[in-house]
Structure 1
Amino acid sequence: MLRPLYISPLGRGGVDFGIQNITRATRRAGLASELLRLPELYNFLPMLIPNILPADVVRRFDVVQGRSRIAFSLRGYDRPVVTTVHHLTTDPDLQPYSSFAQRLFYRLVESRYDGLSIAYADAVVCVSRFTQRMVEATYGRRDTVLIYDGIDTDVFVPPPGMQRRDDGLPPANGRIRLLFVGNRTRRKGFDLLPRIMDRLPEDYVLYYTGGFQGRDTGPPHPRMIPIGSPDRDGLVAAYQSCDILLFPSRLEGFGIAPAEALACGRPVVTTNVAALPEVVDDGENGFLVARDDVAGYAEKVQILGEDAALRRRFGEHGRAKVVTHFGYRPLGEGFRQLYGRLCGKG
């Protein structure tokens, strides 16, 4: 039985959930996978990881894996190294939505970490075709492997009969319930939400999560309701209790929240950029809108809000797509085959 070891410093976003999903999915695929969490510091100083990770620990495993920010530090253990690229912070489209300090860190530090990991890894896994194209364009590596991020479709499920639950979100006087899941950052489009709400009828309300990034200064609109940072069960209940996921993100390497919402049978209104069109099929399980088009987001939300049959049809299509393409089965099988080739056991 193959034994992969995943090294993952604590994170503050979807990348952190991604490695947890990989661990669970590969275990279901029959691998003896283990996840070793490290303090957050090692996201910024990954070259120190060998100082705290004895070689005899790693050598109990067949392959070692880390995200592209840290994987270059795992080369000295005489084991195949796999890195996963979730997104590249060197993407020019990200720069306008990053602070000066972030841009400096991305340019001087993280881009070098990514470049070293992509150059030295025995296998580079990309979570979308968009990310594959970015890796080739930025670092010149063409032999990357596409394995989409995965959703536990046994946990993220539609409510019975696809009918909206009423107990998974705080009570509010709203006929149509929208949900935003993500950090309160400009990259996620959080700053657009109040302007979108201004264009929607008074009986539309928007629930939003806390997340790890962005300042929480209270609801930025009278019809926006915070729900904190729910655990996985709470998040499933929130999806099942909303009508539409509104996700005006400006850049995504994959799109975990849209995939989770679709798995729960909820249509998605999001942006026609980066990897999001790989997750959301425009006019079939959601709508894709041009970046920053506030009127466009509001228009598509209202089309869905006023047509329950359309929401149900989109939700059914989305659920089927996620089970087929983004569930734990294709995620775990993709890594099982990759590790088998690397270790001569394929």
Structure 2
Amino acid sequence: MILSPVPRGNGAFVVHSQLAQRLPNYQLLPYSPKRSYFPPSYYPLGRKLPARLIHAVPESAIFHQRKGAPLVVTAHGFTLDKAVYPYSSLLQNLHAKTDLWWLYQQAARRADVLTTVSHATAEALGEAFGITQPIKVIYNGVDETLFVPVEPREDGEIRVLFSGNAKRRKGVQWLLPILAGLDESISVHYTAGLQEQAAVGSHPRLRALGRVAHSAMPKLYQSMDILLLPSVTEGHSIAVLEAMASGLPVVASDLPALREQIVHGEGGFLCPVGDVGAFAAAIQTLAEDAALRLRMGAFNRAQVETRFRLTTTVAAYQALFNEIG
């Protein structure tokens, strides 16, 4: 059996859940992300279950390591980046600079195979910890049979979606300032996500959707016109992939990992992190040009079909597991 301990409520949980649904003998072991503040609490997870292989994330990997079971560690992003510090609490920063840094370092050293979800994340890990071993990149994928485009609406309102945990690292603090620079025909809708939330504020055109079940996400994307992702850091965004598969253009932060997903000027626009004016201008451009939205959405859909299918992602992990376990 392949055991996969993973925290609930983030992109890693989505990816490992997809593997559990599609691979035989893959057992998901979800846990609260609050365990990270007392790392030894990871140790008992799945300890009594037999395992031929462990597939873990860096923050808990060393506590799941077993004799005779190869350890595959997948980094779904690099949250230790100093650029994230201004958007985190003092406790989060202390955690990142001390025990979390050490746990990532040890996971990279002890892993039989180290994988990441983007070349940008692989490069960041390599530079931070002086990793010389090969790092295997396996892109996240999306089920393009569930997330599909529909005919555009004609009600005159342009709906912009912010999907994910409403946290400062995701740029939630910029939603209101961005909205203030947009025409009155444009509204911003945001999901609550699965983790603790930052304050978003209120505005007649800022609409809270609450927590949306993943099974309801395809219809949500189909009701929207543009995806907004003003993140400070990303590994390889699931929300971007789902929006692309749904035929939406994307306006996102110009981050190295997102450049591997979004082709600037073809599938959307990449803006400097925190540049509220640039985000508003990009959204306004798309709002005023229906043909541009359709063209960029079609481009994104084609990108998913050729580069980011979930079946490709699952097959890559399956091949890796078979090779080493």
After TM superposition, the structure 1 stretch with the greater mean CA deviation from structure 2, 126-135 or 145-154, is 145-154
Structure 1 residues 88-167: aligned runs within 5 Å:
88-142=78-132, 143-159=134-150, 162-164=151-153
Give the one of 288, 305, 321 matched to 2:287.
305
Shift of 1:296: 0.9
1:58 equivalent in structure 2: 50
2:5 equivalent in structure 1: 7
Cα distance in 1, alignment partners of residues 67 and 73 from structure 2: 15
Q: 2:29·2:46 contact (CA, 8 Å) conserved in 1?
A: no
Q: 1:177·1:204 contact (CA, 8 Å) conserved in 2?
A: yes
Shift of 1:214: 2.1
Structure 1 residues 159-238: aligned runs within 5 Å:
159=150, 162-164=151-153, 175-211=157-193, 212-216=195-199, 219-238=201-220
Shift of 1:215: 3.6
Shift of 1:100: 1.1
Give the one of 63, 87, 95 matched to 2:77.
87
Cα distance in 1, alignment partners of residues 137 and 228 from structure 2: 27
SS at match of 1:84: strand
SS at match of 1:79: coil
Q: 1:22·1:150 contact (CA, 8 Å) conserved in 2?
A: no
Shift of the 196–234 alpha-carbon distance from structure 1 to 2, 3 Å rule, reads same
Amino acid at match of 1:146: V
Shift of 1:216: 5.0
Shift of the 272–49 alpha-carbon distance from structure 1 to 2, 3 Å rule, reads closer
1:236-273 C-alpha deviation (Å, 9 max, x unpaired): 21111011111111211111211111111111011111
Task: Please list every run of at least 4 consecutive aligned residues from structure 1 whose deviation after the TM superposition is greater than 6 angstroms.
Answer: none
Cα distance in 1, alignment partners of residues 242 and 98 from structure 2: 34
Cα distance in 2, alignment partners of residues 156 and 114 from structure 1: 34
1:170 equivalent in structure 2: none
After TM superposition, the structure 1 stretch with the greater mean CA deviation from structure 2, 36-45 or 305-314, is 36-45
Q: Please, which runs of 5 or more residues in structure 1 have no aligned partner?
A: 167-173
1:180-231 C-alpha deviation (Å, 9 max, x unpaired): 11222221111111111111111111111112222456x4322100000100
Identical residues among aligned pairs (%) = 32
After TM superposition, the structure 1 stretch with the greater mean CA deviation from structure 2, 310-319 or 32-41, is 32-41
Shift of the 147–52 alpha-carbon distance from structure 1 to 2, 3 Å rule, reads closer
Shift of the 232–77 alpha-carbon distance from structure 1 to 2, 3 Å rule, reads same
SS at match of 1:105: helix
Amino acid at match of 2:18: N
Q: 1:176·1:305 contact (CA, 8 Å) conserved in 2?
A: yes
Q: 2:167·2:196 contact (CA, 8 Å) conserved in 1?
A: yes
Cα distance in 1, alignment partners of residues 94 and 235 from structure 2: 20
Q: 1:90·1:106 contact (CA, 8 Å) conserved in 2?
A: yes
Q: Please, which runs of 5 or more residues in structure 2 have no aligned partner?
A: none
1:37 equivalent in structure 2: 30
SS at match of 1:23: helix
Cα distance in 1, alignment partners of residues 166 and 127 from structure 2: 29
Shift of 1:77: 3.8
Q: 2:62·2:103 contact (CA, 8 Å) conserved in 1?
A: yes
Query: TM-score, length-normalised on structure 1?
Result: 0.87
Cα distance in 2, alignment partners of residues 48 and 203 from structure 1: 50
Amino acid at match of 1:180: F
2:221 equivalent in structure 1: 239
2:63 equivalent in structure 1: 73
Cα distance in 2, alignment partners of residues 50 and 215 from structure 1: 30
What root-mean-square deviation, in Å, do the aligned CA atoms of Structure 1 and Structure 2 show?
Answer: 2.0
SS at match of 1:319: helix
Shift of the 135–165 alpha-carbon distance from structure 1 to 2, 3 Å rule, reads farther
Q: 2:3·2:46 contact (CA, 8 Å) conserved in 1?
A: no
Equivalent pairs, count = 323
1:251 equivalent in structure 2: 233
